[in-house]
Structure 1
Amino acid sequence: MLAKRLAVIGLGLIGGSVARSLRASGAVGSIVGFDPDARQRTAAVELGVIDVAADSASSAVAEADLVIVAVPVLHTAEAFAAIAPALPANCVVTDVGSTKQSVLADVRRVFGELPGWYVPGHPIAGTEKSGVANSLEGLFRKHRVILTPHAQQAPEALAKVRALWELCGARVVEMEPSLHDEIFAATSHLPHLLAYSFVDTLAGIDRSGQIFSNAGGGFRDFTRIASSSPQMWHDIVRANAASVSTILAKQIAELQAMQAMIDGGRWDELKTVFERARNAREHYLTQIE
């Protein structure tokens, strides 16, 4: 058995989906959860996602041998500070944060070091919906989970967290935290920022109602992620600001170059950009999950 008692701190889409997935695997005993939102705690129990809703983060972890911290990245330090006094000996703790350097810094700030029993993680799965009511048992199946082990990492803790995600049906890979943040600034954080910006731009145009009512499938596909939680993505971009700013500057330069092509009637050059982009996407499409 992976864990006799699993504690989930943060009962949103990801935290709820991990609990559902591990329950379905039969690899955990009881599941206790905590969320600062009482409505999420109540819903998690009513939906059978957890067995017990704790009234605090510390009481949730008091008897756990495996803890998953699934809170917004800007609340990492707060969550770890809350559970620190009550963590049992030999308990393994992991997180699901979309940024890793900021999370590692927060954990180090709380404990004065990076504890060997803490394993940094990030599941590459989700939807534009939020809340425990939208959690899914199969959310992580055939998706990647990134682990970013640190220098003080206990091998047995790393092995346990790897097993956790494999039981959820995920494929686990490891990488350096800085590389993780660069990659996901480009492939996740920037796309969300662009989607929000694009919709906001159109909403500010005269006759925006006509624009939206006549939009087709391409608009829906491109802007789907702009329906994601604004607070969550504000937190992610803020936590990974340096990496996001770097890739955003490159994107702005690319857009300015394309604008110059349009204004200058350099249509062959514009077509070349389109062809290069299409070919790149087709080449790497099999690696996109």
Structure 2
Amino acid sequence: MLTDGKIVAVKKSKIVDEEKLTEFINDVNILSQINHRNVVKLLGCCLETQVPHLVYEFIPNGTLSEYIHDQNEEFLFTWEMRLRIATEIAGALSYLHSATPIPIYHRDIKSSNILLDEKFRAKLADFGTSKSVAIDQTHVATMVDGTFGYLDPEYFQTSQYTDKSDVYSFGVVIVELLTGQKPTCLKRSKEGRSLATYFIMCMEENRLFDIIDPQILKEGKNEQMLEVANLAKRCLNLNGRYRPIMKEVATELEAIQKSIKTVSDQQNFEEVESVRTEIAEAWNVSNTIGSNPSTSIDIASLFD
């Protein structure tokens, strides 16, 4: 807690490590260039201590990974929430790739690096391995680094990280949101230990709804889930050239989200109109009865 009562999060390295120090400094460099509602804010830093300290806004509701993989009956992680979170992170990545002065590749997109605030809005975090690239650059050449299960196979083979590598990792996050399954799992068959591979296999065999998270499957939003699944499949194309750019991904997710809102608004409108019609009909009946002095009826019970 700061002197003004504000709660903050302080990140510090457990050990004195030159590599970790480089990541901390990189975090400062990257986040100082970013101002987006769905990216965690860096409030300050201290590099004069034995290990560096970074001060961030405090995000109280933990990581997206916890809500996907550690579900409980007390909290319903609905399809609408999942779609909104996916849309918010896609918007943040689109901003990093195409709206900052210098394009930024995150390089470690995964559900545990997506935080949820008090209103369950998504915040992209952990920019320790992120890279800024010149506008005329198409990739950055680095040693292969990242989290297994989210790693772009093309990057793994070539050591060339592109904006489409972020797209691939985000595709894995979408599949996590759809299925509730972890990015790697030894319990699945050898061919399907990678969630991305397993998902593509199920899509090609027309078995998507066999692997959708049962918690959201019962909501009956199959059409929207299929649209999102098809988008995820394009993000996971083994050839980066055929993956969409993040701006396209964000636009498509926004359109799907709006279609759900439109349907919901229409249903609410129809319900209100139905109630209005019932009241009007009841009122007309009460007026007719009231005009006949020989008829007696409890109007309140009629409206009930």
Greater percentage in helix: 1
> TM-score if structure 1 supplies the norm length?
0.27
> TM-score if structure 2 supplies the norm length?
0.26
| Greater Rg over alpha carbons, structure | 2
